Amino acid sequence: MMHDETRDLLQASPDAAAMTGITAADCADFPRLAGALLGGIAANDGVRATVHAAYAEAPALVETSSHDISETARRNFEPGGRAGALLFSRGVQAVMAHRVAHHLWGKGDQTRAMALKSVLGRALSTDIHPAARIGPGLWLDHGLGCVIGETSVIGRDVSIWHNVTLGSTLTDSGPERHPKVGDGAVIGAGAVILGNIRVGAGANVGAGTVVLQDVPDAMTVAGPRGEIRGPARVRFAPERS
């Protein structure tokens, strides 16, 4: 299991264990490990307790985060497998933080959700609103500079690079003012996607692209005006029967 793999990885490298601050006791189960990891990143015992409690009370949250981590390990090129992705991937940690904040938001604990988003967002250089809906299997590569607005919806097994913005146009203050991203879409570094538009399933958005209108399924958009350049060529999502 994930926590066993993490314990084994750290036991094989005591120096790395000392740098992470994760102990064998922290690897007793996933909720404790998640709390120790994110609490250590934030240097905050309140974060540690909140994350631990959320994962302990919601087994589905553990399952979703485990899928996120497994998919990051599968799609990425870094060593260490799932344990390495959990310990060393800023993107994995940012998505975990969002999962917990979204869990709190769904329970009506909006103040604590925003506090968690703020504290861990500063530590991880991301800004993901707790209300944003993110499907399982998100690969947030690098994570740095990622901004995801309140009414954004991200489908299953999406891949997003650093400095991507899913934002509003500032001319729409309505309840559906942020993008909707379909299953398996791939969004390159620095892309800016604005407004209540849809990026289709399996679509590719090129690095640095500004997207202000819908992107069809399985197509590529690129360039400063988000022009359609033909069929999508990059796919990271697993094949599904």
Reported as a single tens digit per residue, the pLDDT across 116-164 is 999 999 999 999 999 999 999 999 999 999 999 999 999 999 999 999 9
The pTM of this model reads: 0.95
Instruction: Please tell me the predicted confidence (pLDDT) of residue 170.
Output: 82
Q: Residue 114 contacts by C-beta under 8 Å, 6 or more apart in sequence?
A: 101, 130
Contact between 92 and 140 (Cβ < 8 Å): yes
Torsion, CA 19, CA 20, CA 26, CA 27, rounded to 10: -100
Contact between 92 and 124 (Cβ < 8 Å): no
Instruction: Please tell me the predicted confidence (pLDDT) of residue 237.
Output: 86
Output phi, psi for 153, to 5 deg: -130, 125
Q: Provide mean pLDDT across the span 46-63.
A: 98
Tens digits of per-residue pLDDT, 15-37? 999 999 999 999 999 999 999 99
pLDDT at 240 over 80: no
pLDDT at 166 over 90: yes
What token pair was written down for 80? 């260490």
Q: Kindly indicate the confidence band of residue 12, based on its pLDDT and cuts at 50, 70 and 90.
A: very high
Instruction: Please tell me the predicted confidence (pLDDT) of residue 225.
Output: 87
Output phi, psi for 198, to 5 deg: -115, 130
